[in-house]
Amino acid sequence: MVVNLCSNRRGAIYYCRMVEYRMGDQRWRLIPGQEAGKSYQYPSYSHDGKTLVFGVAQCEQPDCKGNSGFGQLATMAVQATAGQPTVYGAVKALPVPGVSRPNFSPDDQQIVYWRDQYKSKSRLASGRGIGSISVFGYRPATDEETHLIPGMNTDKLRTRFINALSGPLFTPDGGTIRFTAQNDPLGGSESAAKRGMSDVDYHLPSGTTISRYWHRVAEGLGRVYAEHPTRGVLAGAGNLRLVDPLPPHATRA
């Protein structure tokens, strides 16, 4: 498997490298081709296992201070053979800046990710961006980017996500996108997601959402629902329990 290893220095937690862990011999290996002065974040395999997708951030030195987990969308070819070292290709930058947590669609034809909704350049003194993030998809074959959750911002609804916690991920049938995010609790207009921390299912054909309160779990619902479309696992401190993703345990907008 391929994961991030990141700095534990204060203010530099997004200074990351992609590493391979081979469970058979319990060995770590730094993936080649990663340049100094850049951070490589949130790697994810395509479903056919032949491509890695991730974000690459150009870093201020030392230790990528000011980086907030967003970077240039990029891919890397992978050739894996049983019993042989995995061969990784060169980093291929795609023309989509400022993305975070990319993942492939079930057919591997689209990459879904978080991105600044309005490509805002304004930032606070801490380096954090001002504005909201949303879920977009990019198709490398046609060089097209699409806003995938437009139903969360309409004439009547204004949903302002300010922090991504998991996902976005497609369900196996490709019909729903699931993620966990922080929805601006001070937003004045009606929102399509619960205020504060919320787990969201967005149904692509209809543009409707199911929103659940988030409680002490950052990676549970979205990732497990990607494997179990009708039932999910909510992981809390010291427990694991099944939850019903449908009302009345969730609200539908």
State which H helix or E strand residue 223 sits in.
helix 220-225
Q: What is the pLDDT of residue 155?
A: 65
Distances (CA, A) of 85 to 25, 27, 31, 40, 67: 12, 12, 11, 21, 32
Supply 241's token pair. Answer: 């329990």
Q: Report the C-alpha dihedral over residues 92, 13, 148, 202, rounded to 10 degrees.
A: 140
Rounded to two decimals, what is the model's pTM?
0.77
pLDDT of residue 9: 73
Up-side HSE of residue 45: CA atoms within 13 Å toward CB?
12
Exposed/middle/buried for residue 243 (C-beta within 10 Å: 0-12, 13-18, 19+): middle
Domain ranges of the chain: 2-237
Query: Which CATH code fits 2-237?
Result: 2.120.10
Q: 3-class SS at 212?
A: strand
- Averages of pLDDT over each 10 residues, the chain, 253 residues: 81 82 85 90 92 90 74 93 86 94 95 80 48 89 93 73 86 89 66 67 86 53 41 40 48 40
pLDDT of residue 144: 95
Locate 89 and state its tokens: 């290709």
* pLDDT at site 7: 79
DSSP assignment letter at 151: G
Residue 43 confidence (pLDDT): 93
Residue corresponding to tokens 């993305």:
99
Are 55 and 102 contacting, i.e. CB atoms less than 8 angstroms apart?
Answer: yes
Say which amino acid occupies 2. Answer: V
Give the side-chain half-sphere CA count within 13 A for 193: 30
Please name the residue that has the structure tokens 């809390």. Answer: 236
Ordered strands of the 2-6 beta sheet = 2-6, 16-22, 27-30
